[in-house]
Amino acid sequence: MRSAPTILHLDMDAFYASVEQASKPSLRGKAVIVGGLGPRGVVATASYEARVHGVHSAMPMSQARRLAPNAAYLVPRFALYRSISDQVMALLRALSPLVEPLSLDEAFVDLEAGDTAWDERSARLVGTKLRADIRAVTGLTGSVGLAASKMLAKIASEQAKPDGLVVIEPGTEREMLAPMSVRTLPGVGPATGDHLRRAGIHTVGEIAEAGEDELVRLLGKAHGHALYAMALARDDRPVVAERETKSVSVEDTYDVDIHDRVRVGLEVQRLADRCVRRLRGAGLSGRTIVLKVRRYDFSTLTRSETLRGPTDDPAVVREAAARLLDSVDTTGGVRLLGVGVSGLADYTQEDLFAQAAGGAGEEVAEEEESGPAPEPLPEVPAERRWSAGHDVRHTEYGHGWVQGSGLGRVTVRFETPGSAPGRVKTFRVDDPALEAADPLPLVEAPPDLPRTDAPAAGASASPLGGVTARAGPAPGTR
């Protein structure tokens, strides 16, 4: 572990919900919940106003609606979230060549590698400026933790939430960790936490007091050793700039179980095509095709087939996925399907006949036919779907967003990131004057900040709360 707090962990505050509040003036300061809105949808992010009601990420959307019936429920806009994430990551990469993104809204930064911080004072200055720059570029707030290791930096950013900065000074780690719940440590989930609680261990300090041998007895060798080291604030993991992609996959959860075997097959083919598009977009190919099926009773089956060489051919992936589906009983209904490709490489196998004819280890007779090419998926007529929260434009009223739709009607609130809360209008879903639109940028990019790959901005900053900094570990709201 280092002798200075030069590992930075950034966590954007309620990222998806904050983006929606920044782009929709009428939702600022109100409960906003982003996620799947169907009967089986789950919460992706809840604003802090919604969390007061007990709503949190990964909660079933049906439960969230019971807890916060008056909240705004919106469908995610991932393209917008990615563009804003690109802006934030560009600011981080201006600090150091060692940036390890964990998700769209979270990353580690090695400030020492960028020669931007070398002691507590310089690290604090970098963290303070970063938070101000993020607000200037995106209109959003992020919480920053600074410490001598990745584990401690992440714990510090959790304490800093929302919209704060916490520095854990070297030498104070064990004292700071001791009274914290065992659930604070990475890898301690509900099951491990309950197991420790039954053994009379509730805090990190009690983990250290129990000793390594006792933890190994309770949790097994690997987990026991790791947990004991973390309780002593030992963490030597480096910040890794590039994380190798091990697989590419897509999946869909269906609001109503699919019972028709033909429909299941068509869905698998559609998912295979989507997976290949993502694979090609990353410039990759793969050897192992994976099918995931979650049935009506929540049992999940995974089947895989390894080809003779890597491919990015959609016909090959479709055929392999179809063969895998043949081995799965879907009689009772299917609630989730997924198709993935692993064993990735940056080249493809040219012998497509061998790929399509069979998986690894199979001998294919020379006279064997490869079979007819798969028929294209049936054309689906384009439908005008108005997703809650998504952007629209009206020829008379301008830019707005969908508040809701149903019974042949769509309700739109007309406002932009820089406007006052706008007025609401209702239209027929097939109104020719109404069309889908691209999201508007949240703020104007200041000329003195690092350039990003995100679209140029054109609206005023969003009032999402003040910038504060706290000098030591203090409790914060996640």
At residue 284, the pLDDT reads 87
The more confidently predicted of residues 449 and 270 is 270
Q: Is the pLDDT of residue 79 over 60?
A: yes
SS3 20: helix
Q: Which of 51-55, 256-260, 307-311 is predicted least confidently?
A: 307-311
pLDDT tens, position by position, 108-123: 999 999 999 999 999 9
- The amino acid at residue 5 is P
Q: How far is CA 258 from the centre of its chain?
A: 27
* E strand spans, 390-429: 391-394, 398-406, 409-414, 423-428
For residues 27 and 100, give the distance between their C-alpha atoms in angstroms, rounded to a whole number. Answer: 32
Q: Is the pLDDT of residue 19 over 60?
A: yes
The more confidently predicted of residues 356 and 236 is 236
At residue 353, the pLDDT reads 42
- Percentage above 70 pLDDT, the chain: 84
The more confidently predicted of residues 106 and 449 is 106
Query: Using omega within 30 degrees of 0 as the cis cutoff, is the peptide bond preceding 417 cis?
Result: no
Of 209, 210, 212, the residue nearest 226 (C-alpha): 212
Q: Which of 10-24, 244-258, 397-411, 423-437 is predicted least confidently?
A: 244-258
Give the pLDDT band of residue 243 (cuts 50, 70, 90): low
For residues 142 and 312, give the distance between their C-alpha atoms in angstroms, rounded to a whole number. Answer: 38
At residue 445, the pLDDT reads 56
Mean pLDDT of the chain: 84
SS3 43: strand
Q: What are phi and psi of 155, to 5 degrees?
A: -60, -40
At residue 428, the pLDDT reads 94
At residue 253, the pLDDT reads 86
Residues 6+ apart with CB under 8 A from 27: 20, 21, 72
Annotated catalytic residues are 106
Provide mean pLDDT across the span 405-425.
94
- Percentage above 90 pLDDT, the chain: 65
At residue 348, the pLDDT reads 54
Q: Which of 83-92, 197-206, 306-315 is predicted least confidently?
A: 306-315
Start-end of H helices in 75-211: 78-93, 120-138, 150-160, 173-177, 190-198, 204-210
At residue 81, the pLDDT reads 94
For residues 184 and 190, give the distance between their C-alpha atoms in angstroms, rounded to a whole number. Answer: 11
Residues 6+ apart with CB under 8 A from 236: 1, 149
Q: Is the pLDDT of residue 461 over 70?
A: no
At residue 40, the pLDDT reads 77
Provide mean pLDDT across the span 7-13.
97
For residues 361 and 294, give the distance between their C-alpha atoms in angstroms, rounded to a whole number. Answer: 28
For residues 62 and 318, give the distance between their C-alpha atoms in angstroms, rounded to a whole number. Answer: 34
Provide mean pLDDT across the span 41-68.
94
At residue 108, the pLDDT reads 96
At residue 38, the pLDDT reads 80
Q: Is the pLDDT of residue 30 over 90?
A: yes
Kind and range of the H or E element at 356? helix 352-357
Residue located via tokens 């707030």: 141
Strand partners, 99: 109
Provide mean pLDDT across the span 8-26.
97
Report in angstroms the alpha-carbon separations of 400 from 74, 326, 410, 436.
Answer: 14, 46, 12, 10
Provide mean pLDDT across the span 351-355.
42
At residue 453, the pLDDT reads 44
**363 class by beta-carbon count within 10 Å (0-12 exposed, 13-18 middle, 19+ buried):** exposed
At residue 351, the pLDDT reads 42
Among 37-46, 88-97, 339-348, which range has the highest average pLDDT?
Answer: 88-97
Of 237, 230, 247, the residue nearest 100 (C-alpha): 237
Q: Is the pLDDT of residue 419 over 70?
A: yes
Give the pLDDT band of residue 24 (cuts 50, 70, 90): very high
Q: Is the pLDDT of residue 67 over 90?
A: yes
Provide mean pLDDT across the span 189-198.
88
The more confidently predicted of residues 455 and 301 is 301
Provide mean pLDDT across the span 430-449.
83
Of 181, 139, 138, 135, the residue nearest 158 (C-alpha): 181
For residues 74 and 403, give the distance between their C-alpha atoms in angstroms, rounded to a whole number. Answer: 8
